[in-house]
Structure 1
Amino acid sequence: MARTRTYLTVLTALGLLAVTGCGAADMTKQASPYANAQGSKTVTLSVQSWVGAQANTAVVTYLLEHELGYRVDTVQVDEVPAWDALSQGRVDAILEDWGHPDQEQRYITDKKTIQRAGDLGVTGHIGWFVPTYFAKQHPDVTDWHNLDKYADQLRTAESGDKGQLIDGSPSYVTNDKALVKNLGLDYQVVFAGSEAAQITQIKQFAKAKKPFLSYWYKPQWLFEKVPMTEVKLPAYKDGCDADPAKVKCAYPVTPLQKFMNADFAKNGGDAATLVKNFRWTTDEQNEVALLIADQGLSSEEAARKWVKENEPTWKKWLPKK
């Protein structure tokens, strides 16, 4: 099961047109001038809109530029279209993917235009969460069977006469509408529009100590600012989400993966080696994500700070000379 989770696309000197925010650049129609540039030290990385993915890209970009001497372009593409862009060589690598078995079958097994680049080292999980202060007051809310009991308290102007389930962007792959319907819950899925907008809503609810129910995910730095407790949905079993319209189970735990364009994997030299070797922990990713999203550092500033303080970790990712 996958999900897409704000990163400003780097505009190159050649005037690459990009769309920022939750609408991403259509990389199936235009390419970065750096992508698939045979024989030159240039790399294009796809970056998703959630801050954990930005943290990955920030650190790898910094190392490519400052340790290996590459020019790097980053482009924001929604998760599924990114696979097509990667297949066509319009981007060279994706550093965080939450699992797209259909795309893996099409591009890795059948077309052989994409190759696996290994585990990111971070395990992801999507779920429904309520603020911990509300869960302490009403412990039974953490069982989905009891959610309707609290629907009245979770109503908003956007959800009408139903409780509100906050989702992020409509472009995220989510089972929530099907889950609400198939579990017979008196809730309305309301899309915030992006991870940033969803964070703003959650912070507003938390500041006022109001209850909320939200689609959310781990790892994510916001848990350190707004403690949340997961609602137990029906247990996940292999295949229970095979038919998106009939889903009645929780989201799986997903080891996050990296992927590369097949030509880049073969001819990308030191850059491809770094992408393959890049593997860090949830705590390390959250450390950089917090610098970006909470402390307001630019991606480059956050990466510089982390790289300066963690040389023994990243030195192992560099090609052996």
Structure 2
Amino acid sequence: MKTAVAHRAYPEVGRSTNGRVHYLHAAVAEEPVSIPHPLTPLLAPRSIALVGASETLNTPGNDMLHELRVSRYKGEIWPVNPKYEEIEDWTCYPSLSDLPFAPDLAVLAVGNHHLEALMGEAIRIGVKGLVIFGSAQLPGDTGHDTLQNRIQHLAIDAGVPIVGPNCMGYYNVEEGVRAFPFHLPRSLGDGGITFIAQSGSVLTSLLWNERKLAFNLAISPGNELVTTVADYMDYALDLPSTKVIAMFLEAVRDPGGFVAALEKAQARGVPVVLIKVGRSAAAAALAMSHSGAMAGNDDAYEALF
């Protein structure tokens, strides 16, 4: 939660020049009031639907259930899969439309050919945020009529933020939320590091293995079709627990928003530590094949920092 002293702040959704939604705060002078960040339903949801939940061990559909159990998440958890009536002692629902009410967050652990219909259903019932693990690519996708473009337009038109696609999700340690397709069977202590990594392997190498580091938030943003690194930085900078932001980046997809987030970090005295890869031509080509990211001109990054 953000407290606006002597101001009433309103979440504002704008569009950057690349068409993505940019989440920010606007304020006008009024009485003090506490308001949630626009990404709160996505990153600190009060209710979660797990679409594609499964009884099959060592699959994303099962691991994501165990992740929420070990994280001691306190909100509503609703597995969704028409094959089951119950999974891991939770009632399982046949569809999103059958849930008691619209969840803040829907995690989509399903095949790419199901994504577009599920997104339409999620938006129709009022889901406020989505995590998409899959690549959101179909055989034969060419030109502008691709699954990723259709998903992007659906989300932007509805104002729904997305982690992903092609991501590993996130950990919000201080809120006890894990939207993750692989299971770590132990708890993590709260800390002050926000870690954003455009590599799932880099994310888990520190998050899971380096016990000396303690995180409040760790995010694998994937292809950033709608919600970008800049938006996650903006959210983290509204958390009193954030003492430093660490990033492993192949590219910055919203340069204007990124610069604004860096300025916000500077104003709040929060250091930003960045490893930028894709500096050579070969590395830039690998970045493009990995996450569809244009690595950009290294001189521009050097000038920025």
Q: What TM-score do the two structures reach when normalised by structure 2?
A: 0.28
Structure with the larger strand share = 2
Structure with the larger helix share = 1
Q: What TM-score do the two structures reach when normalised by structure 1?
A: 0.27
Which of these two proteins has the greater Rg computed from alpha carbons?
A: 1
